[in-house]
Structure 1
């Protein structure tokens, strides 16, 4: 690993799906991995898989919406592996029913937002102070293409994933001068238990290979994508070499981030 590469990662929602694959990929690259989720048995299986690669691994069960459990999980991983210098906020959920907002269940709607937004916030809140003190660290917020377009049927998911982009921007604005990088990564549509259960994907035949996601996270962990901190990256679509060649222009144009689009040069908000 390069000197500035991440050495210890914490992956939320690591017991299955994309989170499991991210953890295994990081382990294979030599990163020590902390694994969090609610299913302790599934976490233990992933821990053994990670350790089989030769990497160190540790588990901590946590409900990502409960700050006491989040802090305890972070403390457990730190005690076992050392300071976390890469946080991957992967844990998430989506509405069970494809209905418009006015037919949604209020409790379920808010539960989606709590998992997909409050969860990443709480882990950032628990981990960022040490990153700022060390003047180094990386955070990946797993967002979605749903963050960039209106949806008639997944309003809670869209609200949470859009807000994650602003959360990432806030991290970069506040902690960027202290050497902390943050990234929004949209995984595309990977075949998982969640996407497989969604009626909207029932007829889907083309899926984003999970390797497109894991290779992007691995590149972030290596430090290769640091020039793109604060930007939205889409696995399976983006060519990382091309993005890096355009990094200066992306920064100059303030591209690949959440902004209001003016209607023209005479727009008073431009």
Structure 2
């Protein structure tokens, strides 16, 4: 990864932050994109202090012009972009079945989780092609593989990310771009830990059946690192389940 130049959205916390640190540890230069200026500024300073190369770029991933400017700034700062890791997004409190979900919440969820991913790809993929090829890793979810998650807005958005990933892989293969999605299970990010339920019999039963169903942000960061590297050169157009078997048995 020492010659890679990675753009990471949602880099201020959670999986995005963990990925930025792992990519930088492996020698990649990183562009840290997020709305939270303080978070990415602090992270960029941390990476630079440890001998890495990083630039912080404030962006609204749901805004086309904001993403265009942000990618241009990242390319100007790093010289090129050959890796995109789309981490911005997440589920929302109040997301529920379609007959009850608030329509404004539905729209906000799709705007961030699906449109944000699309706009990042819209502007970063041409830069990756210009760099001679590279990789895109999109964050989906186990909810996109299995229809048992109660939040239908999030499920719809993450399922659409998988379909978009496959379409992008087919579209840009001849231009040297690989595109994959990670379908994560329950990851112990700060947001998830703050919102988690008290537990109970259902939670205990799930843990007993799927002992690896919960992970830490670095677990997903390591998968993204692999998918962004040459070691995964045979993999494109795939939805990689990382949920402890929850989508398999």
TM range (shorter): 0.7 to 0.9
CA distance in 1: counterparts of 2:23 and 2:77, whole angstroms: 17
Match of 2:128 among 117, 128, 131: 131
CA distance in 2: counterparts of 1:98 and 1:126, whole angstroms: 29
- Name the residue aligned to 1:210: 217
Mapped pair 1:115 → 2:112: yes
Higher strand proportion? 2
Q: Mark the runs of 5 or more structure 2 residues left unpaired by the alignment.
A: 208-213
Change (3 A) 1:6 1:217: farther
CA distance in 2: counterparts of 1:90 and 1:152, whole angstroms: 20
Mapped pair 1:145 → 2:152: no
Change (3 A) 1:162 1:95: same
- Name the residue aligned to 2:211: none
**3-state SS of paired residue (1:24):** helix
- Name the residue aligned to 1:8: 5
CA distance in 2: counterparts of 1:101 and 1:95, whole angstroms: 14
**3-state SS of paired residue (2:89):** coil
Change (3 A) 1:99 1:20: same
Deviation at 1:6, TM superposition (A): 5.6
Larger RCO (alpha carbons 8 Å, 6+ apart): 2
Match of 2:151 among 151, 154, 157: 154
CA distance in 1: counterparts of 2:86 and 2:119, whole angstroms: 10
Match of 1:188 among 150, 165, 185: 185
The two structures, once aligned, show a CA RMSD in angstroms of: 2.1
Q: Mark the runs of 5 or more structure 1 residues left unpaired by the alignment.
A: 239-270
Change (3 A) 1:150 1:45: same
Deviation at 1:92, TM superposition (A): 0.3
Match of 1:73 among 70, 77, 80: 70
Match of 2:174 among 174, 177, 201: 177
CA distance in 1: counterparts of 2:233 and 2:89, whole angstroms: 25
**3-state SS of paired residue (1:216):** helix
Superposed, which structure 2 residues align to 1:158-169 within 5 Å? 158-169=155-166
Task: Name the TM-score, length of structure 2 as normaliser.
Answer: 0.87
Q: What is the total number of aligned residue pairs between the two structures? A: 235
Deviates more, 1:228-237 or 1:100-109: 228-237
Conserved in 1, the CA contact under 8 Å of 2:110 and 2:153? yes
Deviation at 1:98, TM superposition (A): 4.7
Task: Name the TM-score, length of structure 1 as normaliser.
Answer: 0.81
CA distance in 1: counterparts of 2:173 and 2:110, whole angstroms: 26
Deviation at 1:135, TM superposition (A): 3.8
**3-state SS of paired residue (1:228):** coil
- Name the residue aligned to 1:231: 238
